[in-house]
Amino acid sequence: MKNAKFIFSNRIINLFLRTLTIALKFVLSLLLIKRLGIEEFGVFGLFQSSVIIMTFFLGLDFYTYTTREVLKLKSKEFSYYIKHQIIFHALVYCLILPFCYFLVLWNIIQKDFIYLFIIILVSEHLSQEIYRMLIILKKTVVATIVLFLRSGLWIILTYFLWKNNFIPSSLESLLYLWLFGAALSVVIGFYYLNFKWIKGIDKTYIKKGLKVALPFFIGTILYKLMEFSGRYFLNFYFTSAEVGVFTFFSSIANVMFVFVQTIVIIELYPLLIESKNKSYALFLTTLKTFEKQIILYSTIAIALSLIGIYPLLFFLDKTILFDSVFSYILLLISTTFFCFSFVPHYALYSYNNDWKILKATLIGAVFNVVGNLVLIPYLGVLGAAISQLISFFMFFAIKLYFWKAHKRINHQ
């Protein structure tokens, strides 16, 4: 009974902190636009997108291999895996971090912020890897606290310090507070790993891990290309104001995915994989439930988004946002297709069709880049929204095609 209460209380804490973190990210967008303006929000959007993308280059999805190895029945001492992950990432840092200078040359990151960018990037990456390690160790509450420190606490501090004029409301002060939150999460998270240094380096483990993780990394980068490339094309052809508009609307539309992911995907996809191991009929029944739930909650999210968008725009009182509201509608539809894509995605994943998922992601990314090249120079933010809609639709349609082909070949 005590154990059941403990699990229940952990779930409540995790849900509360995750929900609060998501809400604070939304508040941050509103705070930046109101205090600094849409142009500075665009600059921050590029900075933030670059941190996210570069974090994946630093990680190379090596954690996917580590997770699998740790969960094996005859796994080694946990410090063995942490140590080799530290060694691996240290080598990657030496190879990748010098390339950050190109972000300055390409006018993506301001020269004054490049060193701050690198320190935030490393802190974010370390915090993310520590978070994943804590999840493996089943220290879920500590992991969620680490996530909150990295992505939520510093936003509360920013609001409090700016509102009371303790520090100037500027992009620079925001970035230092972000760094504080990320660094604090690293220190606290690492403490709870209980890491002990072990002698010796297993080069074979690192080489094998890189080989296993590479397909996952490629898929992740291709998806992030679809998600963020529009911001970079807008920065190249237009100004930070257009980047700010697109970043704001895409961030708001993404709340729909977070909503569906939290309520449906996280809860049901393990059941989907489990049902596959029992019978095909049960798998199809579970998949149908999964599909109905995604459609239901996507519809609810769309309705709430359409009801809430105009009051939100009136609150922000930015003409440029009102002028581009149709782009938001298109981004909302594209996010809907992205949510729908998880039905064939997990169907394919359950039957180990990883390469078909990768092919679908590659095709979607190609449509996105070509669409941006063709449409953005002429249509600006609207062109970026159309391009994302086309690419996410193709992403969904090709996965659906592969799943139907799999059923036709293997289950008739």
268-290 per-position pLDDT tens digit:
777 777 787 788 888 888 889 88
pLDDT tens figures, 131-155? 988 888 888 888 889 999 999 999 9
The predicted pLDDT at position 257 comes to: 86
Q: Are residues 164 and 233 in the same domain?
A: no
Q: Are residues 60 and 158 in the same domain?
A: yes
The predicted pLDDT at position 1 comes to: 47
Q: Are residues 7 and 124 in the same domain?
A: yes
Q: Of the candidates 294, 390, 271, which has an alpha carbon nearest to the alpha carbon of residue 342?
A: 294
In a domain, 20, yes or no: yes
For residues 367-375, give the mean pLDDT. 96
Q: Are residues 228 and 196 in the same domain?
A: no
Q: How many C-alpha atoms does 389 have within 13 Å on its Cβ side?
A: 15
Q: Are residues 349 and 392 in the same domain?
A: yes
Q: Of the candidates 154, 81, 164, which has an alpha carbon nearest to the alpha carbon of residue 123?
A: 154
For residues 390-406, give the mean pLDDT. 94
Amino acid 47 reads: F
Q: How many helices (H) and strands (E) does the chain have?
A: 18, 0
pLDDT tens figures, 73-125? 566 787 888 898 999 999 999 999 999 999 999 989 999 999 999 999 999 99
Q: Of the candidates 42, 40, 58, which has an alpha carbon nearest to the alpha carbon of residue 100?
A: 58
Distance, in Å, from the CA atom of 52 to the CA atom of 121, rounded to the nearest integer, reads 8
In a domain, 247, yes or no: yes
- What is the residue range of 340's domain? 223-407
Overall number of domains in the chain: 2
Q: Are residues 181 and 252 in the same domain?
A: no
Q: Of the candidates 150, 57, 42, which has an alpha carbon nearest to the alpha carbon of residue 102?
A: 57
The predicted pLDDT at position 74 comes to: 60
CB neighbour burial string for 153-171, b if at least 16 within 10 angstroms, e if fewer: bbbbbbeebbeeeeeebeb
Q: Are residues 280 and 373 in the same domain?
A: yes
Amino acid 159 reads: Y
In a domain, 207, yes or no: no
The predicted pLDDT at position 340 comes to: 93
Burial class (CB in 10 A: 0-12, 13-18, 19+), 412: exposed
Q: Are residues 138 and 273 in the same domain?
A: no
CB neighbour burial string for 94-104, b if at least 16 within 10 angstroms, e if fewer: eeeeeebeebe
**pTM of the predicted model, to two decimals?**
0.88
Q: Are residues 130 and 231 in the same domain?
A: no
pLDDT tens figures, 329-359? 999 999 999 999 999 988 888 887 888 988 9
> Which of 137, 168, 201 is where one domain is finished?
201
**Contact residues for 337 (Cβ-Cβ < 8 A; gap 6+):** 389, 392, 393, 395, 396
Alpha helices in 137-192 (DSSP H): 140-148, 154-163, 171-191
Q: Are residues 355 and 272 in the same domain?
A: yes
Q: Are residues 43 and 135 in the same domain?
A: yes
Distance, in Å, from the CA atom of 334 to the CA atom of 324, rounded to the nearest integer, reads 16
pLDDT tens figures, 287-319? 898 899 999 999 998 999 999 999 999 998 888
In a domain, 214, yes or no: no
